[in-house]
Amino acid sequence: MSYRKSFLVEPGQKLRLSQIDPSSKEKHETSETVAAELEAFRQKLTRLQALLYAAHKHSLLIVLQAMDAGGKDGTVNHVFAAFNAQGTTVTGFKQPTPVERDHDFLWRVHPHVPGPGKVAIFNRSHYEDVLITRVHKLIDEATCKARYEQIRCFERGLADNGTCILKFFLHISREEQLARFAERLQDPARNWKISESDYTERELWDDYIAAFQDAMEATSTKHAPWFVIPANHKWARNLAVSRIVVESLEELDMAFPKPTVDLADIARRYHAAVQEQLSHATRS
């Protein structure tokens, strides 16, 4: 059975986040026991991205969503640092600008989708427009459902053009969120992230959970699946995300393209150049 099945939001099935333990560690106990495995997946990610770039037939879109302090930045830093920065973009979607609000909600997303051979990571995404807007009652139920349909069509179009789409909800507990807020307060390198909304939005926890559940139920499809990743333990989160991405890229069955030059001729010219260099060194 595919490893991904353990975390997959099955299309058409009901999702209850309350039934998924955010502290789950699978079969592992500590970060030390997975260090070697994480390094192996890091190397696989590096190799697979090089293959993706060379083959130039597929692209990869990774969507990261979570409650505040859920670990989106940490996942980018500790998992996707394995990717070559030249072929990777990371985009964060915050409150829409006035210009963006003058267009449909997907307008600002289109310029950031990956082209062939590229990786795009969305740290927050187009899903903000069916999460925050719903929780704060900026859209009604009919508009929300219409947006689900627009998202499904948008992602279907990307998949039809060769984009592998993987969407991750990093699932932390309410208690873990509060503990991470406390860590930020004590860390000068991170307390700049603290905002008033961290605590005001926390009061809407149950509303956000309901919104996440409905959004994932409505938009988890075979071509653009959602995965719920237990994320109280950062190392367990990193391992699960790494393994799912590796497994998904390997299934694309990519191959390096054939050389466009005569390798035998290039080899002869190389050896001739080496001999000339040696001859020149000897005369000197």
pLDDT in tens, the chain (284 residues): 578 999 999 999 999 999 999 999 888 878 888 999 999 999 999 999 999 999 999 999 999 999 999 999 999 999 999 999 999 999 999 999 999 999 999 999 999 999 999 999 999 999 999 999 999 999 999 999 999 999 999 999 999 999 999 999 999 999 999 999 998 888 887 777 777 777 889 999 999 999 999 999 999 999 999 999 999 999 999 999 999 999 999 999 899 999 888 889 889 998 998 988 888 878 76
Q: Measured in whole angstroms, how far is the alpha carbon of residue 76 from the centre of its chain? A: 8
Strand 119-123 with 88-92, pairing? parallel
Instruction: Starting at the earlier edge strand, list the strands of the sheet with 119-123.
Output: 88-92, 119-123, 59-66, 163-171, 226-230
CA dihedral 159, 249, 167, 101 (to 10 degrees): -50
Residue 193 CA to residue 69 CA, distance in Å, equals 10
Residue 244 CA to residue 266 CA, distance in Å, equals 40
Residue 267 CA to residue 228 CA, distance in Å, equals 51
Three-state secondary structure call for residue 169: strand
Residue 117 CA to residue 223 CA, distance in Å, equals 18
Task: Name the CA radius of gyration of the chain, rounded.
Answer: 23
Burial of 215 (0-12, 13-18, 19+ CB in 10 A): buried
Q: Measured in whole angstroms, how far is the alpha carbon of residue 206 from the centre of its chain? A: 24
Q: Measured in whole angstroms, how far is the alpha carbon of residue 273 from the centre of its chain? A: 46
Residue 192 is predicted with a pLDDT of 77
What is the pTM (predicted TM-score) of this model?
0.92
Domains and CATH numbers, the chain: 3-283 (3.40.50.300)
Residue 37 is predicted with a pLDDT of 94
Q: Other C-beta atoms within 10 Å of 192: how many?
A: 9
Compute CA distances 197 → 132, 134, 183, 204, 240, whole Å.
12, 16, 17, 11, 29
Residue 222 is predicted with a pLDDT of 96
Structure letter (DSSP) for residue 188: T
Residue 80 is predicted with a pLDDT of 97
Q: Other C-beta atoms within 10 Å of 132: how many?
A: 17
Residue 110 CA to residue 153 CA, distance in Å, equals 13
Residue 1 is predicted with a pLDDT of 52
Residue 200 CA to residue 194 CA, distance in Å, equals 12
Residue 108 is predicted with a pLDDT of 97
In sequence order, what E strands does the chain have? 59-66, 88-92, 119-123, 163-171, 226-230
> In 3D, which of 44, 49, 70, 170 has the Cα closest to residue 114?
49
Residue 265 is predicted with a pLDDT of 87
Q: Measured in whole angstroms, how far is the alpha carbon of residue 83 from the centre of its chain? A: 12
Residue 173 CA to residue 176 CA, distance in Å, equals 5
